[in-house]
Amino acid sequence: MRSLAFSLLLAGGLALPAFAAPADYPTAALADYVLGCMAARGQTPDALQRCACSIDRLAARLPYDDYVKAETVLRMRRETTGRDQVTMFRTSPWAQEMVDKLRRAQLEADLECF
């Protein structure tokens, strides 16, 4: 029975081609993305594989520094204190460009993995 379960898990893991993320993304950032993705899409082995695929593909398209900048803009947009500082993250073209670049990379990655 165990070997059958292991075989099924292994076969499920092979459904998506292996794709390694660039070395400049720290493990904690990769794990954080996958955990957030799985929280939104289900806590299943299939979701794990697809979410891992998504961050790997995203990382191949977007340098880690750009990812951090875009995530910072998104975090600041959710902030409710310090409204003058937060406004520039909500209204500046440069901030929107960073977010758009991240969203495009996420969309392309998700199209490949989901």
Confidence (pTM): 0.76
Total domains in the chain come to 1
Q: What is the pLDDT of residues 22-78, one digit of tens each?
A: 679 999 999 999 999 999 999 999 999 999 999 999 999 999 999 999 999 999 998
* Tokens of residue 91, six digits: 């209204």
Which residues span the domain enclosing 14?
2-113
Checking if the pLDDT of 2 tops 80, the result is: no
79: left (phi over 0), alpha (psi -120 to 50) or beta: beta
